[in-house]
Structure 1
Amino acid sequence: MPSDLADASVIVPAYRAGATIGRALESIAAQTLRPREVIVVDDGSDDDTFEAARSRTGAMRDISLKVFRQANQGAGAARNRALGEASGYYVAFLDADDEWLPKKLARSLSCLEDTDRVLVAHNYLLFENGTDRVIDTARRFREAGTPFVGLYRKGYIGTCTVVARRDAVLAAGGFDSTLLAAQDFDLWLTMLGKPGARFEVFDEALSRYHISQGGITSQTDRRLKCCLEIARRHAPALKAHPGSVLASLWFRIIAVHYEAVAVYLERKDSASALMTCLRLPVNLFVLSMAALFGRQVNRKTQAS
Structure 2
Amino acid sequence: MFETVRLLAETNFALLVFSVLIFDIPRYTLSLLSLALFGAWRRSDRVPAGNASVSVIIPTFNGGSGLGPTIASLYQQTLRPFEIIVVDDGSTDNTRAVAERARADGLVDMVICHGTRCGRSAAINAAARFASGDLLLTVDADTVFEPTAIARLAAVFSDPRVGGASCNIAISNEQESLWTGLQSVEYLMSISAGRSILDVVDAIACLSGACSMYRRDTFLRQGGLDVGPGEDLEYSLRLRRLGHVIRFVPDAWAETAGPANGISLLRQRARWDRDALRVRFMMYGELNFLHPFERLPDTLQRLDFIIFDLIPTLSLPFYLAYVVLLFGADAALFLSAVYLLLLGIAVFNMALAFVMFNRSVGLFGLGAALIFPFYQGVYLKCGRFFSYSSEIIFASSRHDDFVPPRVRRALFDDRIEGAAR
TM over 0.5: yes
Instruction: Give, in angstroms, the shift of residue 251 of structure 1.
Output: 4.6
**Could you tell me whether the CA contact under 8 Å between 1:123 and 1:207 is conserved in 2?**
yes
TM-score by length of structure 1 reads: 0.73
**Structure 2 counterpart of 1:105, one-letter code:** I
Q: 1:115 and 2:163 equivalent?
A: no
Q: Which residue of 2 aligns with 1:206?
A: 253
How has the CA–CA distance of structure 1 residues 44 and 114 changed in structure 2, closer, same or farther, with 3 Å as cutoff? Answer: same
Which aligned pairs between 1:229-244 and structure 2 lie closer than 5 A?
229-232=278-281, 233-235=283-285, 239=291, 240-242=293-295
SS at match of 1:211: coil
The structure richer in helix per residue is: 2
**Could you tell me whether the CA contact under 8 Å between 1:33 and 1:106 is conserved in 2?**
yes
The correspondence for 2:214, drawn from 139, 161, 164, is 164
- CA distance in 2 between counterparts of 1:204 and 1:84 reads 30
**Could you tell me whether the CA contact under 8 Å between 2:206 and 2:237 is conserved in 1?**
no
- CA distance in 2 between counterparts of 1:242 and 1:86 reads 33
Deviates more, 1:34-43 or 1:49-58: 49-58
**Could you tell me whether the CA contact under 8 Å between 1:94 and 1:159 is conserved in 2?**
yes
Instruction: Give, in angstroms, the shift of residue 204 of structure 1.
Output: 0.8
SS at match of 2:87: strand
- CA distance in 2 between counterparts of 1:285 and 1:273 reads 18
- CA distance in 2 between counterparts of 1:22 and 1:278 reads 37
Instruction: Give, in angstroms, the shift of residue 221 of structure 1.
Output: 1.4
Instruction: Give, in angstroms, the shift of residue 248 of structure 1.
Output: 6.5
**Structure 2 counterpart of 1:231, one-letter code:** R
**Could you tell me whether the CA contact under 8 Å between 2:165 and 2:248 is conserved in 1?**
yes
Instruction: Give, in angstroms, the shift of residue 274 of structure 1.
Output: 3.6
The correspondence for 2:375, drawn from 266, 270, 273, is 266
- CA distance in 1 between counterparts of 2:294 and 2:136 reads 28
Residues 279-303 of structure 1 deviation map (CA, whole Å, 9 limit, x = unaligned): 768988999xxxxxxxxxxxx7xxx
Residues 158-205 of structure 1 deviation map (CA, whole Å, 9 limit, x = unaligned): 23442221111122221111x23x21111111112113x223222214
**Could you tell me whether the CA contact under 8 Å between 2:277 and 2:388 is conserved in 1?**
no
**Could you tell me whether the CA contact under 8 Å between 2:278 and 2:391 is conserved in 1?**
no
Residues 44-67 of structure 1 deviation map (CA, whole Å, 9 limit, x = unaligned): 110110110121125556xx5211
The correspondence for 1:252, drawn from 297, 300, 305, is 305
Q: 1:222 and 2:265 equivalent?
A: no
SS at match of 1:235: coil
Instruction: Give, in angstroms, the shift of residue 119 of structure 1.
Output: 1.9
Count, aligned residues: 273
How has the CA–CA distance of structure 1 residues 111 and 217 changed in structure 2, closer, same or farther, with 3 Å as cutoff? Answer: farther
Instruction: Give, in angstroms, the shift of residue 85 of structure 1.
Output: 1.8
CA RMSD of aligned residues (A): 4.1
The structure richer in strand per residue is: 1
Structure 2 regions of 5+ residues with no counterpart?
1-49, 176-180, 317-370, 396-410, 416-421
TM-score by length of structure 2 reads: 0.55
SS at match of 1:111: helix
SS at match of 2:109: strand
Which aligned pairs between 1:6-21 and structure 2 lie closer than 5 A?
6-21=52-67
**Could you tell me whether the CA contact under 8 Å between 1:125 and 1:205 is conserved in 2?**
no
**Which structure exhibits the higher relative contact order, with contacts defined as CA atoms closer than 8 Å and separated by 6 or more residues?**
2
The correspondence for 2:112, drawn from 68, 76, 97, is 68
Structure 1 regions of 5+ residues with no counterpart?
288-299
How has the CA–CA distance of structure 1 residues 269 and 18 changed in structure 2, closer, same or farther, with 3 Å as cutoff? Answer: farther
How has the CA–CA distance of structure 1 residues 276 and 35 changed in structure 2, closer, same or farther, with 3 Å as cutoff? Answer: closer
SS at match of 1:13: strand
- CA distance in 2 between counterparts of 1:269 and 1:60 reads 49
Q: 1:190 and 2:235 equivalent?
A: no
